[in-house]
Amino acid sequence: MTWGPSQLATGDDINAGPALMVTIYFDLDGTLTNPKPGITRSIQYALERLNVAVPSEDELVWCIGPPLHASLEKLTGSSELADRALLLYRERFSDVGLFENEAYAGIIDTLTTIAATNQRMFVATSKPAVYATRIVDHFGLRPYFERVFGSELDGTRVDKRDLLRYALDEAKVDPGSAIMIGDRSHDVIGARTNGMTAIGVLYGYGSEAELRDAGAHHICAAHPELLGHCAA
């Protein structure tokens, strides 16, 4: 479901005219790429090494998007085990899981169309920047983005609210003319907390109810629909 005409939170029409420019922040997992095999298999690897019950890949898709340590804590039952699981996860993910991933079909066409309007574009992900940068480079997405914003390995800026605040400050962007595009509630909450327009997408790992309940201004079923909100 897409909510009404293409408007910013202020009520301005994004398509009102060529003079209106917006800055667009894209989530990575579930928005630009589909990381399911790499993330779920790396979680399974960590849990197996810790002798913790290992769910199936499909049973772990809820872990895609939110900060990983919190998900691992739910799976292991303690913060201490989650710390160990995170190190084991990274042991596999950094060499193998990183590339068990694929760019969504047609996403480059969508990015190319948006880029032709000269809007500024960034990646903003809770994933550590050291991994996110390698993924963006691997799939040939780097030319579309000024910078890849991510968390640090020590957990700094893993909360999307903190990450977007930092990304807006670093890029010197007015939140009122900025859009955050993502597939999970934390993308929407992070955007709204910082005064940005939040656009949820349904082809990733969040449901329409999750995005609506979080307060998404618009919801798009497929990424070509983003053009109506982002391409002036």
Residue 106 belongs to domain with CATH number: 3.40.50.1000
- Spell out, as residue ranges, where the chain has pLDDT lower than 70: 1-20, 232
Query: What does the pLDDT read at residue 21?
Result: 78
Query: What does the pLDDT read at residue 20?
Result: 60
| Other Cβ atoms closer than 10 A to 59 | 11
Query: What does the pLDDT read at residue 231?
Result: 72
Q: Does residue 11 fall inside a structural domain?
A: no
Q: Does residue 3 fall inside a structural domain?
A: no
Query: What does the pLDDT read at residue 65?
Result: 86
Answer yes or no: 27 catalytic.
Answer: yes
Q: Are residues 29 and 40 in the same domain?
A: no
Query: What does the pLDDT read at residue 66?
Result: 87
Q: Give me the CATH number covering residue 42.
A: 1.10.150.240
In sequence order, which residues have a C-beta less than 8 Å from that of residue 108 and are 6 or more positions away? 140, 141, 144
Q: Does residue 17 fall inside a structural domain?
A: no
| Separation CA 81–CA 87 (nearest Å) | 10
| Separation CA 18–CA 8 (nearest Å) | 15
DSSP state of 221: S
Query: What does the pLDDT read at residue 230?
Result: 87
Query: What does the pLDDT read at residue 18?
Result: 39
Cα within 13 Å of Cα(164), Cβ side: 29
Residue 212 host element (H or E): helix 208-214
Query: What does the pLDDT read at residue 6?
Result: 36
List the catalytic residue out of 12, 27, 109, 213. 27
Q: Which of 45, 78, 99 is the last residue of a domain?
A: 99
Domain extent, residue 186, equals 23-34+102-230
Q: DSSP assignment of 28-52, as one string?
A: SBTTTEE-HHHHHHHHHHHHHHTT-
